[in-house]
Amino acid sequence: MTYRSGYGFPAEVIWDRQRMERLFARKWFFAGMRGDVPNKRDYLKFQLFDEEYFLIHGNDGVIRCYVNRCAHQSARLVKGEAGRCAARIVCPNHQWAFDPNSGQVVHASFMPEGFVGSRECDEFGLTEIPLREAGLMLFACLGDAAPENEMDLIVETIAPYMDPFAKAGHGYKQAYHHREILDASWLMAMLNNRECCHCAQNHKRLLSLFDPSSFNGEHTPDYKARLKAAQARWEDKGLAWQEQAFNTSENIRISRYPMGEGFKSQTFDGELASQKLIGPFVDGEADEGTLSFWLNPNAWVHFVSDHIIANWILPLSENKCAFYTSWIVHEDAVEDVDYTAEHMKEVWLVTNAEDVGLCQSMTEGARSRYYKPGPFAPPEQFCTQFADWYMKASL
Amino acid sequence: MTYRSGYGFPAEVIWDRQRMERLFARKWFFAGMRGDVPNKRDYLKFQLFDEEYFLIHGNDGVIRCYVNRCAHQSARLVKGEAGRCAARIVCPNHQWAFDPNSGQVVHASFMPEGFVGSRECDEFGLTEIPLREAGLMLFACLGDAAPENEMDLIVETIAPYMDPFAKAGHGYKQAYHHREILDASWLMAMLNNRECCHCAQNHKRLLSLFDPSSFNGEHTPDYKARLKAAQARWEDKGLAWQEQAFNTSENIRISRYPMGEGFKSQTFDGELASQKLIGPFVDGEADEGTLSFWLNPNAWVHFVSDHIIANWILPLSENKCAFYTSWIVHEDAVEDVDYTAEHMKEVWLVTNAEDVGLCQSMTEGARSRYYKPGPFAPPEQFCTQFADWYMKASL
Amino acid sequence: MTYRSGYGFPAEVIWDRQRMERLFARKWFFAGMRGDVPNKRDYLKFQLFDEEYFLIHGNDGVIRCYVNRCAHQSARLVKGEAGRCAARIVCPNHQWAFDPNSGQVVHASFMPEGFVGSRECDEFGLTEIPLREAGLMLFACLGDAAPENEMDLIVETIAPYMDPFAKAGHGYKQAYHHREILDASWLMAMLNNRECCHCAQNHKRLLSLFDPSSFNGEHTPDYKARLKAAQARWEDKGLAWQEQAFNTSENIRISRYPMGEGFKSQTFDGELASQKLIGPFVDGEADEGTLSFWLNPNAWVHFVSDHIIANWILPLSENKCAFYTSWIVHEDAVEDVDYTAEHMKEVWLVTNAEDVGLCQSMTEGARSRYYKPGPFAPPEQFCTQFADWYMKASL
């Protein structure tokens, strides 16, 4: 099978794990939000292919990404999905200790005096992989030659939209985190994410937050009017709203769009999920809009007036992937006073669970000996964008 | 190891998945009973190797077999083990719809006008595999060149025994269905099925339904007399009873034999499992006999006066297989009035669970590095028949 | 990567299953205690690579090891982890029967007369693998050319320490048995066992039984005095105590060392685990010492005054291993009168569970693409011994 633009991936591409690995060694992938590790020594663990990594917020305020493996006898350094380390990262096996800022060995139990700090010891520090921030978002790359200019363009493209949140003068923190292993190809999961033709039947509750014509097909006159009014409002507030459809950076789509009338947040009841508004929004003046980022190769992130929902997917093999979601709020929001995780997380837990079923189903079907790539419909244009991009970027 | 007739399979044959796949592409395998999908749009899903298929009863009354995969983005079309579709088969992902009679696309959501019905669209219909009926039984074949003359011989061989049931002027329906994935080689499961030397110790409850001498070893004078009387009775009723031991068709053994005195059905208490008798049997006049079919490559089906028990096994890999059992009754039998599933299913649920343990045990032993093929005893003659047949048919 | 003594294994050695299999075909491995199968026809099943074996205590008092597979149709012969057979080993499938002393077929159901005892029949006896006893311990070897002289040296080396237990004139029995499958490399599990640098943080409860300086680092003056007094006491009682550190046999380390003051047994409360003392110890005069054996390739066994704890590990694949522990007591000890399993088993259940987590963690880290062998500290000297020995013995 050869690839044809406008159709799904050839079978041999879907099951080519080396190709997937090449992509993640060449491209910056979404790895979490600064709000996932807001304080010094906070860490967030993640898995990519057979490897475990963790983000850690250094004592110098810089967030870094290390391989989760002690160089002494290979034990895992951090255990839970997320947590806070001691001042040094201490291996639970033999208590070797590492500096979170440099990854260097600062204590090597039972080793002869003089070992720590020696040239040999240098070889046994933590393995670090490149990590960069773009506003509130963190991007990593597995390869040594991570393309810095591509990351520069991501930062630039995102800035006008993100800055009102990133430079608002307050911090952010995780309100809730969910992760799940899917028996699904990461490629199928991304195709599912890149179209909303499946939404009408599969995400009925999510769609209740929006005008039915906002995602697919022709906008209704009513919605056009709402959208125009909203754009004028955003203009007034100095909020960027111009659509970016993988045109400035081929890694990024950005859209700002109104929610249904009276919806102050992405909640099923339309009420605020958190009483502390974030970024440019002033308490009591929530905006009825959502700012969304769809990022190649692996994420979609939604900003509303009171919280941020970050979704990202990382392949574990050609058959499995890990699906991460973080709900991020104002650093001063107090659980059970300003927000409850229960109320906040419902929309995306429900929606993502619906997608998980579809992604697994598509993966099973793609495994069929009768598989052949199917055609994307015009409103599935971003599937075509993703497939074209992947074919080229992973070559 | 080379194969010797009269001994088990060489190890390299047991673990040769390609060989198994060749067989299922060349031979008609048992795929269910008409009673499993009695009404229009009823479907029954099954798995064979890595693939999912489903039987569906068309709006034209014809039962067909399709691959369970939407050609658009590869999602599964039908979800449960069995059920009833809408008038068209609608994919739960993007609502593409297919005609159950032809497999053709009748609706392709969001695709440009003119796509449905176009030449390109024809490529995206359902994949159909050959399916034929023999009386009440359904047989499928994975290969394009399914041997029609072999199927003709199956139909002919079965007809004299089956016709009184198939042409009785009433329909059938599933009373209960059970399926189970076994950590067992399909070949080991078939060898287990083809001999009753394991019955005395492993199927004590099943044997309570029959004369101990009916299956293995010499018939007792008492049993000989019972058998002779039964044959005279069947003769009178016009019921075929002559043994077919893979002689007319090498795929078929047929036997009609008496149950224990007073047994009106295959139930542990000997009472009827359903008050509505089937086929040639008149309510109130149940026959104390069973008509059994053993079918290569994968089934054994028992007919009694009031219900039918169909057992069939399909390989999923060289290590795993799926074991299906359906209990079929008169279409007019009313659950909890004429029958209870609880009472009806007990004999074969118990018996099959006993066999599952043996099949898994034999498979583990066959995986041993010390494995060598063991000898079949004379009453294990149908193991020899199966092995000889498989060696040749899968070559 | 090439191997350097003093560092962990190269990745390609860790994942080389053939190399592991070579080792177990060349070396005698620990397979259980005589006390695990104390009576005639007692069996203990175990798994090694993909194979099941069982120890069986013959009608002649000799313990043998057979492959757990019937030569007729490959079913497993014994089912539970441990148990007692009938006078003959009878296959649950077709009731073929085998002599536990010779492994020969003594009954072949349904086979023609004359088959049992024929030359052909001889081929279908049980497959036996070499098994030898050293005192109370049992050692097996998968290869046909098991090195008898190596086993002779094991017997000789162990004898001075073991004889007071083995020749005490009473028998032993299992009080409790635990087994567990680990998602861990057997090599990582052995390295974990061969050092106590991880103990301080990971085995806090175990260490409460001993002087903190007994295992790592310099002995305190206090401990030195205790040790000296204990050695004098052992000398008086005729108990060997000289350390063997893989010097006489490269397969064996032996150490006798005092427990904490007042500790009569390896229990968290220091009280006797069983009222019936064993071997050289007289009821009422428990010794505050432990005699330990660390055995290459796969075991560590501790003798105290009232019971024996045997731990052993067998690889199932390069990724998985099985961890067995038996608690052995005086044959006359009566459960719930002289001992409770609850009280006896706690120390090693707790300790081993702690190690299981570490072994799995080390295995995950060793699977990393960033893996490289780490250095062993001086008190990890027996890791170096194990690694050096394995590299040579498995070559």
Which CA distances in Å does A11 have to A41, A238, B94? Answer: 43, 46, 21
User: Is the pLDDT reported for residue C216 higher than 90?
Assistant: no
Check residue A213 and give its pLDDT. Answer: 80
B14 touches chain C (CB under 8 A): no
Q: Token pair 């991460």 is at which residue?
A: A324
Encoding tokens for residue A349? 């837990």
A242 touches chain C (CB under 8 A): no
Check residue C330 and give its pLDDT. Answer: 98
C86 vs A9, residue with greater confidence? A9
Residue of A nearest to B111 (CA): A377
d(CA C334, CA B161): 65
Provide, rounded to the nearest whole percent, the portion of chain A with pLDDT above 90: 95
What predicted TM-score, i.e. pTM, was given to this entire model? 0.94
For the residues A191-201, what does the mean pLDDT come to? 95
User: Is the pLDDT reported for residue C243 higher than 80?
Assistant: yes
d(CA A54, CA B345): 54
User: Which CATH fold topology does A1-27+148-395 show?
Assistant: Naphthalene 1,2-dioxygenase Alpha Subunit; Chain A, domain 1 (3.90.380)
User: Is the pLDDT reported for residue C213 higher than 90?
Assistant: no
Domain spans of chain B, in order of start: 1-27+148-395, 33-146
A182 touches chain B (CB under 8 A): no
Contacts of A98 in chain C (CB under 8 A): none
Can you list the alpha helix ranges (DSSP code H) found in chain C?
Answer: 11-14, 17-26, 119-122, 148-166, 186-193, 199-202, 204-207, 221-237, 341-366, 381-393
Q: Do A92 and C201 touch (CB under 8 A)?
A: yes
- Lowest-confidence pick of A99-103, A141-145, B304-308, C51-55: A141-145
Contact partners of B by the rule of 3+ C-beta pairs under 8 A?
Answer: A, C
For the residues A222-248, what does the mean pLDDT come to? 95
Encoding tokens for residue B387? 């092995």
Q: With a CB-CB cutoff of 8 Å, which residues 15-74 of chain A face chain C?
A: 50-52, 67-74
Q: How many CA atoms lie within 13 A of A149 on its CB side?
A: 0
User: Is the pLDDT reported for residue A217 higher than 90?
Assistant: no
Burial class (CB in 10 A: 0-12, 13-18, 19+), A225: exposed
pLDDT tens for chain B, 395 residues: list them.
Answer: 799 999 999 999 999 999 999 999 999 999 999 999 999 999 999 999 999 999 999 999 999 999 999 999 999 999 999 999 999 999 999 999 999 999 999 999 999 999 999 999 999 999 999 999 999 999 999 998 889 999 999 999 999 999 999 999 999 999 999 999 999 999 999 999 999 999 999 999 999 999 878 877 688 999 999 999 999 999 999 999 999 999 999 999 999 999 999 999 999 999 999 999 999 999 889 999 999 999 999 999 999 999 999 999 999 999 999 999 999 999 999 999 999 999 999 999 999 999 999 999 999 999 999 999 999 999 999 999 999 999 999 99
A198 touches chain B (CB under 8 A): yes
- Closest by CA position to B307, among listed B337, B279, B334, B283: B279
pLDDT in tens, A23-50: 999 999 999 999 999 999 999 999 999 9
Q: Do C73 and B370 touch (CB under 8 A)?
A: no
Check residue B212 and give its pLDDT. Answer: 76
Contacts of B115 in chain A (CB under 8 A): 375
Q: Do A202 and B52 touch (CB under 8 A)?
A: no
Per residue, the 3-state secondary structure of A109-151, as one string, reads CCCCCCCCCCHHHHCCCCCEECEEEECCEEEECCCCCCCHHHH
Sheet holding C137-140, edge to edge: C29-33, C137-140, C131-134
Check residue B18 and give its pLDDT. Answer: 98
Give the model's confidence band at A283: pLDDT under 50 very low, under 70 low, under 90 confident, else very high.
confident
Cβ-proximal residues to C280 (8 Å cutoff; 6+ apart), any chain = C164, C165, C168, C237, C238, C239
Check residue A1 and give its pLDDT. Answer: 75
Q: Token pair 């013959």 is at which residue?
A: C58
Task: Please confirm whether the linkage preceding B297 is cis (ω < 30° from 0).
Answer: yes
Check residue A144 and give its pLDDT. Answer: 85
Encoding tokens for residue A286? 């929530």
Q: Do B202 and C93 touch (CB under 8 A)?
A: yes
Check residue B221 and give its pLDDT. Answer: 92
C contact test, residue of B194, B361, B376 with most C CBs within 10 A: B361
B contact test, residue of C53, C73, C105 with most B CBs within 10 A: C73
User: Is the pLDDT reported for residue A215 higher than 90?
Assistant: no
Check residue A218 and give its pLDDT. Answer: 81
Check residue A134 and give its pLDDT. Answer: 95
User: Is the pLDDT reported for residue C21 higher than 80?
Assistant: yes
Contacts of C109 in chain B (CB under 8 A): 197, 377
For the residues C226-232, what does the mean pLDDT come to? 95
Contacts of C188 in chain A (CB under 8 A): 74
CB of C329 within 8 A of CB of C176? no
For the residues A158-172, what does the mean pLDDT come to? 97
Check residue A36 and give its pLDDT. Answer: 98
Top-level CATH class of A33-146?
mainly beta
CB of C187 within 8 A of CB of C9? yes
C317 touches chain B (CB under 8 A): no
Contacts of B193 in chain C (CB under 8 A): none
